[in-house]
Chain A
Amino acid sequence: MQVLIASVLQSYTGASQVEASGASLAELFDHLDARYPGLRFRVIDEQDRFRRHMRCFVNGVQKHDLRTPLSPQDEVAIIQALSGG
Protein backbone atom coordinates (compact mmCIF):
# COMPACT_ATOMS: atom_id res chain seq x y z
CA MET A 1 0.00 0.00 0.00
CA GLN A 2 1.01 3.58 -0.44
CA VAL A 3 2.12 5.43 2.68
CA LEU A 4 2.38 9.19 2.74
CA ILE A 5 5.36 10.27 4.82
CA ALA A 6 5.50 13.62 6.60
CA SER A 7 8.44 15.91 5.94
CA VAL A 8 9.70 15.40 9.50
CA LEU A 9 10.28 11.71 8.71
CA GLN A 10 11.81 12.05 5.28
CA SER A 11 15.32 11.98 6.71
CA TYR A 12 14.48 8.31 7.31
CA THR A 13 12.66 7.44 4.09
CA GLY A 14 14.21 9.85 1.63
CA ALA A 15 10.79 10.13 -0.01
CA SER A 16 7.38 11.61 0.64
CA GLN A 17 5.64 8.42 -0.39
CA VAL A 18 6.74 4.84 0.12
CA GLU A 19 5.33 1.40 -0.56
CA ALA A 20 4.84 -0.79 2.49
CA SER A 21 2.73 -3.72 3.65
CA GLY A 22 1.03 -5.07 6.74
CA ALA A 23 -2.27 -6.52 7.86
CA SER A 24 -2.52 -3.92 10.63
CA LEU A 25 -0.98 -0.59 11.52
CA ALA A 26 1.32 -2.43 13.92
CA GLU A 27 2.61 -4.64 11.13
CA LEU A 28 2.92 -1.67 8.82
CA PHE A 29 5.07 0.21 11.31
CA ASP A 30 7.16 -2.88 11.94
CA HIS A 31 7.72 -3.13 8.20
CA LEU A 32 8.62 0.55 7.95
CA ASP A 33 10.97 0.34 10.93
CA ALA A 34 12.78 -2.67 9.47
CA ARG A 35 13.40 -0.71 6.30
CA TYR A 36 13.97 2.69 7.96
CA PRO A 37 15.43 1.93 11.41
CA GLY A 38 14.33 4.28 14.15
CA LEU A 39 11.26 5.65 12.36
CA ARG A 40 8.70 3.83 14.49
CA PHE A 41 9.94 5.18 17.84
CA ARG A 42 9.89 8.73 16.59
CA VAL A 43 6.15 8.31 15.84
CA ILE A 44 4.95 5.78 18.43
CA ASP A 45 6.08 5.59 22.04
CA GLU A 46 7.10 2.51 23.99
CA GLN A 47 3.51 2.02 25.13
CA ASP A 48 2.29 1.80 21.53
CA ARG A 49 0.68 5.23 21.65
CA PHE A 50 1.00 7.70 18.81
CA ARG A 51 3.07 10.61 20.00
CA ARG A 52 1.15 13.68 20.99
CA HIS A 53 1.99 15.68 17.90
CA MET A 54 1.92 12.91 15.34
CA ARG A 55 -1.11 11.67 13.46
CA CYS A 56 -1.96 8.60 11.44
CA PHE A 57 -4.79 8.48 8.91
CA VAL A 58 -6.15 5.47 7.03
CA ASN A 59 -8.20 6.43 3.99
CA GLY A 60 -8.59 9.90 5.46
CA VAL A 61 -9.78 8.76 8.89
CA GLN A 62 -7.55 9.35 11.92
CA LYS A 63 -6.57 6.15 13.74
CA HIS A 64 -5.24 5.84 17.30
CA ASP A 65 -4.98 2.07 17.65
CA LEU A 66 -2.15 0.05 16.16
CA ARG A 67 -4.48 -2.93 15.96
CA THR A 68 -6.39 -1.18 13.18
CA PRO A 69 -6.62 -3.69 10.30
CA LEU A 70 -5.32 -2.76 6.87
CA SER A 71 -5.91 -4.05 3.38
CA PRO A 72 -3.55 -3.66 0.42
CA GLN A 73 -5.62 -0.95 -1.24
CA ASP A 74 -5.70 1.31 1.84
CA GLU A 75 -3.95 4.64 1.82
CA VAL A 76 -2.04 5.49 4.98
CA ALA A 77 -0.74 8.92 5.89
CA ILE A 78 1.75 9.52 8.70
CA ILE A 79 1.86 13.23 9.30
CA GLN A 80 2.71 15.76 11.95
CA ALA A 81 0.02 17.72 13.74
CA LEU A 82 -0.37 21.40 12.97
CA SER A 83 1.39 22.37 16.15
CA GLY A 84 4.76 23.51 17.28
CA GLY A 85 6.82 26.62 17.60
Chain B
Amino acid sequence: MGNLALLVATRKGAWIYHSDAARREWRTDGPHFLGHIIHHLVLDPRDGRTLLAAAKTGHLGPTIFRSTDMGKSWREASRPPAFAKAPEGEQGRAVDHTFWLTPGHAGEPGVWYAGTSPQALFRSEDGGQTWEGVAGFNDNPAFQGRLGGGQDGTPDGPKLHSVIVDPRDAGHLYLGMSGGGVHESRDRGQSWAPLIEGMEVVGGFDASQWAFHDPHCLALCPSNPDRIYQQNHCGIYRIDRPSNQWHRIGRAMPAEIGDIGFPIVVHPRDDQTAWAFPMDGGDVWPRTSPGGRPAAYVTRDGGESWLRQDAGLPQEAAWWTVYRQAMANDACASVGVYVGTASGSLWMSADEGANWAMIAQHLPPVYALEVAAVG
Protein backbone atom coordinates (compact mmCIF):
# COMPACT_ATOMS: atom_id res chain seq x y z
CA MET B 1 0.00 0.00 0.00
CA GLY B 2 1.26 3.50 -0.86
CA ASN B 3 0.38 6.67 0.94
CA LEU B 4 -2.70 7.24 3.04
CA ALA B 5 -5.04 10.17 3.44
CA LEU B 6 -7.20 10.41 6.53
CA LEU B 7 -10.24 12.47 5.59
CA VAL B 8 -11.66 14.24 8.62
CA ALA B 9 -15.09 15.87 8.56
CA THR B 10 -15.97 18.05 11.52
CA ARG B 11 -18.61 20.42 12.73
CA LYS B 12 -16.41 23.35 11.72
CA GLY B 13 -14.60 22.26 8.60
CA ALA B 14 -12.54 19.49 7.05
CA TRP B 15 -8.95 18.37 7.42
CA ILE B 16 -6.83 15.91 5.48
CA TYR B 17 -3.99 14.11 7.22
CA HIS B 18 -1.34 12.52 5.02
CA SER B 19 1.01 9.67 5.88
CA ASP B 20 2.88 6.79 4.35
CA ALA B 21 2.09 3.14 5.02
CA ALA B 22 4.23 3.22 8.17
CA ARG B 23 1.70 5.67 9.63
CA ARG B 24 4.15 7.12 12.15
CA GLU B 25 3.98 10.76 11.02
CA TRP B 26 0.95 12.65 9.79
CA ARG B 27 1.09 15.88 7.81
CA THR B 28 -1.87 18.19 8.29
CA ASP B 29 -3.71 19.84 5.41
CA GLY B 30 -6.49 22.14 6.50
CA PRO B 31 -8.80 23.51 7.50
CA HIS B 32 -10.86 23.32 4.37
CA PHE B 33 -14.23 25.12 4.52
CA LEU B 34 -13.51 26.53 7.97
CA GLY B 35 -16.86 27.18 9.64
CA HIS B 36 -18.78 24.79 7.44
CA ILE B 37 -20.47 21.77 8.94
CA ILE B 38 -18.93 18.89 7.00
CA HIS B 39 -20.85 15.65 7.48
CA HIS B 40 -18.79 13.45 5.19
CA LEU B 41 -15.62 13.74 3.12
CA VAL B 42 -15.04 10.84 0.74
CA LEU B 43 -12.47 10.06 -1.96
CA ASP B 44 -13.59 8.06 -4.98
CA PRO B 45 -11.58 4.82 -4.88
CA ARG B 46 -12.32 4.22 -8.57
CA ASP B 47 -10.33 7.20 -9.85
CA GLY B 48 -8.31 8.08 -6.75
CA ARG B 49 -8.85 11.79 -7.34
CA THR B 50 -12.48 12.86 -6.96
CA LEU B 51 -13.15 14.09 -3.47
CA LEU B 52 -16.66 15.02 -2.38
CA ALA B 53 -17.58 17.01 0.73
CA ALA B 54 -21.12 17.21 2.10
CA ALA B 55 -21.38 20.73 3.52
CA LYS B 56 -23.66 23.33 5.02
CA THR B 57 -23.26 26.08 7.55
CA GLY B 58 -25.36 27.16 10.49
CA HIS B 59 -26.99 29.71 8.19
CA LEU B 60 -26.57 28.51 4.63
CA GLY B 61 -28.30 25.57 3.03
CA PRO B 62 -26.67 22.29 2.07
CA THR B 63 -24.41 21.67 -0.86
CA ILE B 64 -21.75 19.32 -2.20
CA PHE B 65 -18.24 20.52 -2.92
CA ARG B 66 -16.06 18.59 -5.34
CA SER B 67 -12.30 18.50 -5.84
CA THR B 68 -10.20 16.55 -8.31
CA ASP B 69 -6.82 17.62 -6.92
CA MET B 70 -7.01 16.36 -3.33
CA GLY B 71 -8.51 19.55 -2.01
CA LYS B 72 -6.22 22.10 -3.60
CA SER B 73 -9.27 23.54 -5.33
CA TRP B 74 -12.99 22.97 -4.91
CA ARG B 75 -16.04 23.51 -7.09
CA GLU B 76 -19.62 23.40 -5.94
CA ALA B 77 -22.10 20.90 -7.36
CA SER B 78 -24.26 22.62 -9.94
CA ARG B 79 -27.30 20.72 -8.66
CA PRO B 80 -26.89 19.45 -5.07
CA PRO B 81 -29.32 16.92 -3.62
CA ALA B 82 -32.76 18.54 -3.43
CA PHE B 83 -36.36 17.39 -3.52
CA ALA B 84 -38.71 18.33 -6.33
CA LYS B 85 -40.80 21.44 -5.86
CA ALA B 86 -44.14 20.49 -4.36
CA PRO B 87 -47.36 21.46 -6.13
CA GLU B 88 -48.86 24.75 -5.01
CA GLY B 89 -50.57 24.39 -1.64
CA GLU B 90 -48.71 21.25 -0.63
CA GLN B 91 -46.01 21.10 2.01
CA GLY B 92 -42.86 19.99 0.24
CA ARG B 93 -39.73 18.52 1.75
CA ALA B 94 -36.39 20.29 1.78
CA VAL B 95 -32.98 18.75 2.30
CA ASP B 96 -31.47 20.04 5.52
CA HIS B 97 -28.12 18.39 4.99
CA THR B 98 -26.44 15.59 3.14
CA PHE B 99 -25.25 13.16 5.77
CA TRP B 100 -23.72 10.28 3.86
CA LEU B 101 -21.80 9.83 0.61
CA THR B 102 -21.08 6.49 -1.07
CA PRO B 103 -19.18 5.99 -4.32
CA GLY B 104 -21.06 3.67 -6.66
CA HIS B 105 -20.08 0.31 -8.05
CA ALA B 106 -16.61 -0.13 -9.56
CA GLY B 107 -18.28 -0.84 -12.90
CA GLU B 108 -20.22 2.44 -12.81
CA PRO B 109 -17.62 5.22 -12.72
CA GLY B 110 -19.08 8.57 -11.84
CA VAL B 111 -22.02 7.13 -9.91
CA TRP B 112 -22.40 8.24 -6.31
CA TYR B 113 -25.17 7.92 -3.73
CA ALA B 114 -26.06 10.44 -1.04
CA GLY B 115 -28.19 9.95 2.06
CA THR B 116 -29.80 13.04 3.52
CA SER B 117 -31.74 14.44 6.42
CA PRO B 118 -34.71 14.34 6.19
CA GLN B 119 -34.25 10.79 5.04
CA ALA B 120 -33.94 10.48 1.30
CA LEU B 121 -31.65 8.89 -1.25
CA PHE B 122 -30.01 10.75 -4.13
CA ARG B 123 -27.84 9.57 -6.99
CA SER B 124 -25.28 11.29 -9.18
CA GLU B 125 -24.02 9.90 -12.46
CA ASP B 126 -21.44 12.59 -13.17
CA GLY B 127 -19.09 12.37 -10.24
CA GLY B 128 -21.19 14.49 -7.89
CA GLN B 129 -21.79 17.51 -10.10
CA THR B 130 -25.55 16.96 -10.40
CA TRP B 131 -27.88 14.86 -8.24
CA GLU B 132 -31.33 13.37 -8.74
CA GLY B 133 -33.62 11.81 -6.18
CA VAL B 134 -33.98 8.02 -6.31
CA ALA B 135 -37.70 7.97 -6.97
CA GLY B 136 -38.14 4.36 -5.90
CA PHE B 137 -37.16 5.43 -2.43
CA ASN B 138 -38.04 9.12 -2.10
CA ASP B 139 -41.47 8.82 -3.72
CA ASN B 140 -42.23 5.32 -2.47
CA PRO B 141 -45.70 5.28 -0.86
CA ALA B 142 -44.48 2.71 1.67
CA PHE B 143 -42.13 5.29 3.09
CA GLN B 144 -44.31 8.36 2.81
CA GLY B 145 -45.50 9.58 6.14
CA ARG B 146 -43.48 6.99 8.02
CA LEU B 147 -40.04 8.48 7.81
CA GLY B 148 -40.66 10.86 10.63
CA GLY B 149 -40.24 14.55 10.90
CA GLY B 150 -37.86 16.69 12.81
CA GLN B 151 -38.84 15.08 16.09
CA ASP B 152 -37.69 11.61 15.05
CA GLY B 153 -34.18 10.38 14.65
CA THR B 154 -31.06 12.00 15.99
CA PRO B 155 -30.99 15.42 17.69
CA ASP B 156 -30.20 17.17 14.40
CA GLY B 157 -32.67 15.21 12.35
CA PRO B 158 -33.30 11.70 11.04
CA LYS B 159 -30.46 10.30 8.95
CA LEU B 160 -30.29 8.05 5.91
CA HIS B 161 -26.90 6.42 6.20
CA SER B 162 -24.78 3.37 5.41
CA VAL B 163 -25.60 3.30 1.71
CA ILE B 164 -23.86 0.11 0.57
CA VAL B 165 -23.40 -1.13 -3.00
CA ASP B 166 -22.80 -4.86 -3.35
CA PRO B 167 -19.39 -5.14 -5.02
CA ARG B 168 -20.75 -8.07 -7.08
CA ASP B 169 -23.90 -6.35 -8.30
CA ALA B 170 -24.36 -2.63 -8.95
CA GLY B 171 -28.11 -3.01 -8.59
CA HIS B 172 -27.97 -4.53 -5.13
CA LEU B 173 -28.13 -1.82 -2.47
CA TYR B 174 -28.51 -1.64 1.29
CA LEU B 175 -29.18 1.38 3.46
CA GLY B 176 -29.92 2.22 7.06
CA MET B 177 -32.18 4.83 8.58
CA SER B 178 -32.09 6.36 12.03
CA GLY B 179 -34.81 5.72 12.56
CA GLY B 180 -36.39 3.45 10.05
CA GLY B 181 -34.51 0.18 9.89
CA VAL B 182 -32.38 -1.55 7.28
CA HIS B 183 -33.66 -1.83 3.72
CA GLU B 184 -32.50 -3.65 0.63
CA SER B 185 -33.00 -3.09 -3.08
CA ARG B 186 -32.07 -5.46 -5.90
CA ASP B 187 -33.02 -3.16 -8.75
CA ARG B 188 -30.86 -0.05 -8.25
CA GLY B 189 -33.28 1.48 -5.81
CA GLN B 190 -36.52 1.13 -7.76
CA SER B 191 -38.05 -1.06 -5.05
CA TRP B 192 -37.11 -1.81 -1.47
CA ALA B 193 -37.71 -4.46 1.16
CA PRO B 194 -37.07 -4.14 4.89
CA LEU B 195 -34.33 -6.31 6.37
CA ILE B 196 -35.07 -6.24 10.08
CA GLU B 197 -35.69 -9.82 11.24
CA GLY B 198 -33.91 -10.48 14.51
CA MET B 199 -33.25 -6.81 15.23
CA GLU B 200 -34.54 -5.58 18.56
CA VAL B 201 -36.27 -2.31 19.35
CA VAL B 202 -36.67 -0.15 22.42
CA GLY B 203 -39.11 -1.67 24.89
CA GLY B 204 -42.72 -0.86 24.18
CA PHE B 205 -42.35 -0.68 20.41
CA ASP B 206 -43.32 -3.30 17.85
CA ALA B 207 -40.22 -4.96 16.36
CA SER B 208 -42.19 -6.07 13.29
CA GLN B 209 -42.49 -2.42 12.18
CA TRP B 210 -39.42 -1.14 10.40
CA ALA B 211 -40.16 2.44 11.40
CA PHE B 212 -39.26 1.62 15.01
CA HIS B 213 -35.78 0.29 14.25
CA ASP B 214 -32.67 2.36 14.67
CA PRO B 215 -29.59 0.95 12.98
CA HIS B 216 -26.66 3.27 13.67
CA CYS B 217 -24.16 1.89 11.20
CA LEU B 218 -23.79 -0.98 8.70
CA ALA B 219 -20.52 -2.42 7.39
CA LEU B 220 -20.30 -5.00 4.60
CA CYS B 221 -17.24 -7.27 4.61
CA PRO B 222 -15.15 -6.70 1.48
CA SER B 223 -13.83 -10.26 1.74
CA ASN B 224 -17.33 -11.70 1.99
CA PRO B 225 -20.07 -9.44 0.64
CA ASP B 226 -22.72 -11.74 2.04
CA ARG B 227 -21.75 -10.74 5.57
CA ILE B 228 -22.80 -7.43 7.13
CA TYR B 229 -22.13 -6.21 10.63
CA GLN B 230 -24.44 -3.69 12.25
CA GLN B 231 -24.15 -1.41 15.25
CA ASN B 232 -27.70 -0.63 16.31
CA HIS B 233 -29.35 1.47 19.00
CA CYS B 234 -30.24 -1.92 20.47
CA GLY B 235 -27.05 -3.93 20.13
CA ILE B 236 -24.47 -5.30 17.71
CA TYR B 237 -25.66 -7.66 14.97
CA ARG B 238 -24.40 -9.77 12.10
CA ILE B 239 -26.25 -11.14 9.11
CA ASP B 240 -25.10 -13.72 6.56
CA ARG B 241 -27.05 -13.53 3.34
CA PRO B 242 -29.08 -14.94 1.81
CA SER B 243 -30.54 -15.36 5.28
CA ASN B 244 -32.79 -12.49 6.34
CA GLN B 245 -32.03 -13.05 10.01
CA TRP B 246 -29.84 -10.72 12.04
CA HIS B 247 -28.10 -12.25 15.05
CA ARG B 248 -27.30 -10.16 18.12
CA ILE B 249 -23.59 -10.93 18.45
CA GLY B 250 -23.22 -8.10 20.95
CA ARG B 251 -24.62 -10.38 23.61
CA ALA B 252 -21.08 -11.71 23.95
CA MET B 253 -19.81 -8.27 25.00
CA PRO B 254 -18.96 -7.80 28.70
CA ALA B 255 -22.17 -7.05 30.58
CA GLU B 256 -20.70 -3.97 32.28
CA ILE B 257 -19.88 -2.48 28.86
CA GLY B 258 -22.90 -3.58 26.87
CA ASP B 259 -23.22 -3.52 23.11
CA ILE B 260 -24.54 -0.02 22.46
CA GLY B 261 -22.57 2.34 20.26
CA PHE B 262 -22.56 4.32 17.04
CA PRO B 263 -19.81 2.99 14.71
CA ILE B 264 -18.67 -0.40 13.49
CA VAL B 265 -15.86 -1.20 11.03
CA VAL B 266 -14.75 -4.45 9.43
CA HIS B 267 -11.43 -6.01 8.48
CA PRO B 268 -10.67 -5.63 4.76
CA ARG B 269 -9.60 -9.27 4.33
CA ASP B 270 -11.07 -11.24 7.23
CA ASP B 271 -14.84 -11.45 7.61
CA GLN B 272 -14.49 -12.78 11.14
CA THR B 273 -12.95 -9.52 12.38
CA ALA B 274 -14.82 -6.33 13.24
CA TRP B 275 -14.33 -3.44 15.64
CA ALA B 276 -16.91 -1.56 17.68
CA PHE B 277 -16.51 1.43 20.00
CA PRO B 278 -19.10 1.04 22.75
CA MET B 279 -20.84 3.90 24.49
CA ASP B 280 -23.00 4.28 27.55
CA GLY B 281 -26.59 3.51 26.68
CA GLY B 282 -27.83 3.58 30.27
CA ASP B 283 -30.84 5.44 31.66
CA VAL B 284 -30.67 8.87 29.99
CA TRP B 285 -28.28 7.68 27.26
CA PRO B 286 -25.08 9.66 27.95
CA ARG B 287 -23.56 8.21 24.76
CA THR B 288 -20.08 8.61 26.25
CA SER B 289 -17.42 5.96 26.80
CA PRO B 290 -18.64 3.57 29.52
CA GLY B 291 -17.17 4.68 32.84
CA GLY B 292 -15.14 7.38 31.13
CA ARG B 293 -12.73 4.71 29.90
CA PRO B 294 -12.78 4.60 26.10
CA ALA B 295 -11.93 1.37 24.33
CA ALA B 296 -12.41 -0.39 21.06
CA TYR B 297 -13.67 -3.95 21.15
CA VAL B 298 -12.62 -6.39 18.49
CA THR B 299 -14.08 -9.73 17.55
CA ARG B 300 -11.90 -12.22 15.67
CA ASP B 301 -14.53 -14.92 15.45
CA GLY B 302 -17.52 -13.25 13.89
CA GLY B 303 -18.91 -12.05 17.19
CA GLU B 304 -18.60 -15.16 19.34
CA SER B 305 -16.24 -13.26 21.61
CA TRP B 306 -14.89 -9.71 22.01
CA LEU B 307 -11.53 -8.41 23.23
CA ARG B 308 -11.05 -5.01 24.86
CA GLN B 309 -8.44 -2.79 23.17
CA ASP B 310 -7.50 0.28 25.19
CA ALA B 311 -3.68 0.34 25.33
CA GLY B 312 -2.59 3.91 24.77
CA LEU B 313 -6.07 5.34 25.22
CA PRO B 314 -6.91 7.36 28.36
CA GLN B 315 -7.50 5.00 31.26
CA GLU B 316 -9.92 7.28 33.08
CA ALA B 317 -11.96 10.48 32.92
CA ALA B 318 -12.31 10.51 29.13
CA TRP B 319 -15.98 11.03 28.40
CA TRP B 320 -15.83 10.57 24.68
CA THR B 321 -18.48 10.15 22.10
CA VAL B 322 -17.51 8.59 18.77
CA TYR B 323 -20.17 9.25 16.16
CA ARG B 324 -21.27 6.60 13.67
CA GLN B 325 -19.09 7.84 10.80
CA ALA B 326 -16.09 8.67 12.99
CA MET B 327 -14.44 5.24 13.03
CA ALA B 328 -12.54 3.90 10.02
CA ASN B 329 -9.88 1.47 9.01
CA ASP B 330 -7.25 1.20 6.32
CA ALA B 331 -6.26 -1.85 4.28
CA CYS B 332 -2.58 -2.06 5.26
CA ALA B 333 -1.08 -5.47 6.00
CA SER B 334 -1.45 -4.66 9.67
CA VAL B 335 -4.81 -2.93 9.55
CA GLY B 336 -4.94 0.60 10.91
CA VAL B 337 -7.99 1.53 12.95
CA TYR B 338 -8.95 5.17 13.51
CA VAL B 339 -11.43 7.03 15.69
CA GLY B 340 -12.38 10.68 15.91
CA THR B 341 -14.11 12.02 18.97
CA ALA B 342 -16.84 14.53 19.59
CA SER B 343 -14.22 16.32 21.73
CA GLY B 344 -12.02 16.85 18.68
CA SER B 345 -9.31 14.24 19.00
CA LEU B 346 -8.03 11.79 16.40
CA TRP B 347 -6.64 8.45 17.52
CA MET B 348 -5.18 5.62 15.52
CA SER B 349 -3.80 2.15 15.93
CA ALA B 350 -1.38 0.77 13.37
CA ASP B 351 -1.63 -2.75 14.77
CA GLU B 352 -5.31 -3.62 14.47
CA GLY B 353 -6.33 -1.96 17.71
CA ALA B 354 -3.68 -3.41 20.01
CA ASN B 355 -2.00 -0.03 20.68
CA TRP B 356 -3.40 3.45 20.19
CA ALA B 357 -1.75 6.85 19.71
CA MET B 358 -3.15 10.32 19.23
CA ILE B 359 -2.80 11.96 15.83
CA ALA B 360 -4.41 15.30 16.67
CA GLN B 361 -6.40 17.06 19.32
CA HIS B 362 -8.34 20.30 19.76
CA LEU B 363 -10.21 19.88 16.51
CA PRO B 364 -13.92 20.67 16.31
CA PRO B 365 -16.27 17.74 17.02
CA VAL B 366 -15.36 15.00 14.55
CA TYR B 367 -18.33 13.85 12.51
CA ALA B 368 -16.72 11.45 10.05
CA LEU B 369 -13.46 9.73 9.15
CA GLU B 370 -12.49 7.97 5.97
CA VAL B 371 -9.12 6.47 5.10
CA ALA B 372 -8.11 6.55 1.46
CA ALA B 373 -5.18 5.05 -0.38
CA VAL B 374 -3.50 7.76 -2.48
CA GLY B 375 -0.61 7.15 -4.83
Using CB atoms and an 8 Å cutoff, list the residues of chain A in contact with chain B.
6, 8-9, 37-38, 41-49, 51, 53-54, 80-81, 83-85
| Cβ–Cβ contact B58 & A53, under 8 A | yes
Contact assessment for A41 and B63 in the assembled complex, using a CB-CB cutoff below 8 Å:
yes
- Provided the pairs A47-B85, A53-B58, A83-B58 are in contact, do residues A42 and B63 lie with their beta carbons within 8 angstroms? yes
Residue numbers in A under 8 Å from B317 (CB-CB): none
Would you call B197 an interface residue if the criterion is a C-beta within 8 Å of the partner chain's C-beta atoms? no
11 contacts across the A-B interface (CB closer than 8 A): A8-B59, A37-B78, A43-B61, A45-B61, A46-B83, A46-B85, A47-B86, A54-B59, A54-B60, A83-B58, A83-B59
B80 at the interface (CB under 8 A from A): yes
> Is there an interface contact between A43 and B60, defined as CB atoms closer than 8 Å?
yes
Q: Which of B59, B78, B84 contacts A46 (CB 8 A)?
A: B84
B residues with CB within 8 A of A: 57-61, 63, 76-78, 80, 82-86, 91-95
Decide: A38 and B83 in contact? CB cutoff 8 A: no
Compute how far the CA of A51 lies from the CA of B59 in the bound complex, rounded to whole angstroms: 8
**7 nearest A-B pairs in the assembled complex, by CB-CB distance:** A45-B94, A84-B58, A42-B60, A80-B59, A47-B92, A46-B82, A53-B59
In the complex formed, the residue of B with least CB distance to A40 is: B61
Contact (Cβ within 8 A) B95 A46: yes
Chain B minimum-CB-distance residue to A51: B61
What residues of chain B lie closer than 8 Å to A9, measured between beta carbons? 60
With A37-B76, A37-B78 as known contacts, state yes or no: A47 contacts B94, CB within 8 Å.
yes
Q: Which residue of A lies closest to B77 (CB)?
A: A38
Instruction: Given contacts A41-B63, A51-B60, A54-B60, list 19 more A-B pairs with CB under 8 A.
Output: A8-B59, A8-B60, A37-B78, A38-B78, A41-B80, A41-B82, A42-B61, A45-B82, A45-B94, A45-B95, A46-B83, A46-B85, A48-B85, A49-B94, A51-B59, A53-B58, A54-B59, A80-B60, A81-B59
